Structure 1
Amino acid sequence: MAEDLTILKTASKEEKYQSIIPQIKALVEGEDDLIANLANVCAALKEQFGWFWVGFYLVKNEELVLGPFQGPVACTRIKKGKGVCGASWQREEVLVVPNVDEFPGHIACASASKSEIVLPFYLQDQIVGVLDVDSEYLSHFDNVDAKYLNEILRLIHG
């Protein structure tokens, strides 16, 4: 799929996800290169939602290493259990953080980031990384984001 995305500007969060998911599915369907798929997912999500930062960290040699992303420059490496991304990886669970300044051990890659959601990313039932999304607004993410972002992660293959 090489055409532009259809971006909803005035819809509800749920409607935006319901609109972008089939478009992401079309982007990754038939493409077996993981990095290409991750890059397109980041671009599509950034276009639809305008988040401060959206990207992937990939597990390499027992740490998370920066992968495809959209937004300002980011931390390159994160140890297991460190910060929100490392904690999500270690716990194998989605973490929704309403205020990053209140998260013990938060790694401030960008001072403008105020809230965050991190989801483990699996391929063949093994965690291969995390999807990290940051917002410049407090309490920006919730269970709606967790539900639909998990659905998007299940579309990715490579």
Structure 2
Amino acid sequence: MTDYALLARQLRALLDTRDWLINSAQTSAFLMQEIPDLNWAGFYLQRQPELLSLGPFQGKPACNPIPFSKGVCGAAARSRQTQRIDDVHAIADHIACDSASQSELVVPIIDASGALWGVLDLDSPKADRFSEHDQAGIEGLVEVFREVTELGKP
């Protein structure tokens, strides 16, 4: 079982700047290295109304842009709630950037003013990859990112 408390301490130590670009790049690389069974880890940013734009990531080339009305990332942005999907192929409007992806976890990132800044998207080639424990742990890592990062306009 992944020790998310340890990962949170390590991420906090790694993020030694408040710059959103550096921190999102570092966080993507850290997650890809430390979380088993991922094939994509990265950020989508809200730079325009109702639209997510690709941000720093690790993995194969990604889909861009993603409207709030489509896919798991769009659902997280629209609802402002974490989306934990055991089987992405069961989602009618799933956006398949990498056909190897089987499950997905997307956590919305809300800035200090209450606005959606973006989402953290994790994909796995394993079905049922993300448990409740993983969801809570990743949400905690997003909170570390949010606390130490100046979430200005991306």
Q: Is the TM-score greater than 0.5?
A: yes
1:108 corresponds in structure 2 to 96
Runs of at least 5 residues in structure 2 that lack an aligned partner in the other structure: none
Counterpart contact for 1:38–1:56, Cα < 8 Å: yes
How does 1:33-48 map onto structure 2 within 5 Å? 33-48=19-34
1:3 corresponds in structure 2 to none
Runs of at least 5 residues in structure 1 that lack an aligned partner in the other structure: 1-11
Aligned counterpart in structure 1 of residue 44 of structure 2, from 38, 44, 57: 57
CA deviation profile, 1:29-70 (whole Å, cap 9, x unmatched): 4x1110100111111111112411000000011210000101
Moved over 2 A (4+): none
* 1:145 pairs with 2:134: yes
Equivalents in 1 of 2:84, 2:19: separation in Å? 29
1:26 corresponds in structure 2 to 13
Supply the RMSD in Å over aligned alpha carbons.
1.1
Measured after TM superposition, the shift of residue 106 of structure 1 is 0.4
For this pair of structures, how many residues does the alignment match?
144
Counterpart contact for 2:7–2:141, Cα < 8 Å: no
Equivalents in 1 of 2:52, 2:75: separation in Å? 11
How does 1:124-143 map onto structure 2 within 5 Å? 124=112, 125-143=114-132
Structure with greater contact order relative to length (CA < 8 Å, sep ≥ 6): 2
Q: Secondary structure at the match of 2:18?
A: coil
Aligned counterpart in structure 2 of residue 69 of structure 1, from 57, 62, 65: 57
How many percent of aligned residue pairs carry the same amino acid? 35
Amino acid at match of 2:93: G
Aligned counterpart in structure 1 of residue 86 of structure 2, from 95, 98, 103: 98
Counterpart contact for 1:52–1:113, Cα < 8 Å: yes
Equivalents in 1 of 2:9, 2:69: separation in Å? 33
Counterpart contact for 1:114–1:135, Cα < 8 Å: yes
Equivalents in 1 of 2:141, 2:110: separation in Å? 12
* 1:81 pairs with 2:69: yes
Q: Secondary structure at the match of 1:113?
A: coil
1:7 corresponds in structure 2 to none
Measured after TM superposition, the shift of residue 129 of structure 1 is 0.4
Amino acid at match of 2:5: Q
Q: Secondary structure at the match of 1:76?
A: coil
